[in-house]
Amino acid sequence: MNGHPLLEAREVTVRFGGLTAVDAVSAAFAPGELVGIIGPNGAGKTTFFNALSGVIVPSAGELFAGGASLAGAAPHRFAQQGIARTFQTPRVFAELSVAANIDFGLQFAGRKREAPPLLKDAGTILDLIGLSAQAALPAAAITPSQQRLLEIGMALATRPRLLLLDEVAAGLTEAEVEAMARLIRRLRDELDLTVIWIEHAVSTLLRHVERVLVLHQGRKIADGLPSEVVRNAEVIEAYLGDEMVEPA
């Protein structure tokens, strides 16, 4: 990896008209890291993700993948760099079977990157995410939590090096959230992925990630170990204390 971060944002700013949604945020993500991003509603989390994945072009600042600039690059260039993401609302093809959804991701990836054995084909990917039994069902017929797993499977089918997860625990039960978090850790470990995970369920995220960035009103106000971040006075104030982890 020639010593460069897998993905780096330098002073990334995103403006919509007069509104600055992301305000000069810098962050570097190393190979194999599991990083969480938290922040109150409207903090700029999804907008920052959209910039990291090429969905929107930053108004200012620079993005680098493995040290190479992604300035002005189209989303498919981000995919070629091994960056894949999920969306807050799962984007699956409702009328296609679960297996066909994974096949779509595999076709999108082509065969250019060497596939880890666990991502060899739709069958191995469905095994990995625990949806083998649903392979023949239309995606519309599976539960919302299974649709979230399917979208992760579709992202994995592109054989990424970096996986951006946008609120994959939203709407899940506590048990489903725990299972999702364990899966995310296992994917990171077994596939040697870098994972950046946005979540509203703050206490869950802080239990499972190794590092956390906190955004507030578009600015990065903290970046460190979960145990440090929860003691950060600015973070506690930004959350008014109500969403932070319950005191032990």
What pLDDT is attached to residue 111?
Answer: 57
Distance CA 153, CA 223 (A): 29
What would the two tokens of residue 4 be?
A: 């460069």
Domain spans, the chain: 1-82+161-248, 91-160
The number of beta carbons lying within 10 Å of the beta carbon of residue 11 is 12
The CATH code of the domain at 1-82+161-248 is 3.40.50.300
What pLDDT is attached to residue 117?
Answer: 86
Tell me the C-alpha to C-alpha distance, in Å, between residue 170 and each of 13, 42, 157, 209.
26, 16, 22, 17
Nearest to 114 by CA among 32, 31, 185, 191: 191
What pLDDT is attached to residue 209?
Answer: 94
Q: What does residue 138 show for φ and ψ, rounded to 5 degrees?
A: -65, 145
What pLDDT is attached to residue 47?
Answer: 94
Q: List the chain pLDDT tens, one digit each, 248 residues.
A: 457 889 999 999 999 999 999 999 999 999 999 999 998 888 899 999 999 999 999 999 999 998 889 987 888 888 888 999 888 777 889 999 999 999 988 887 665 567 788 898 999 999 999 999 999 999 999 998 899 999 999 999 989 999 999 988 888 888 888 899 999 999 999 999 999 999 877 888 898 999 999 999 999 999 999 999 989 988 888 875 555 554 43
What pTM was computed for the model? Answer: 0.89
Distance CA 167, CA 173 (A): 13
Spatial neighbors of 215 by CB under 8 A, at least 6 apart, are 22, 25, 37, 38, 39, 43, 44, 45, 48, 221
Query: Which stretches within 87-231 are classed as H helix?
Result: 98-109, 122-129, 144-157, 174-191, 202-208, 226-229
Nearest to 180 by CA among 162, 161, 201, 194: 201
Q: What does residue 40 show for φ and ψ, rounded to 5 degrees?
A: -60, 165
Spatial neighbors of 71 by CB under 8 A, at least 6 apart, are 62, 63
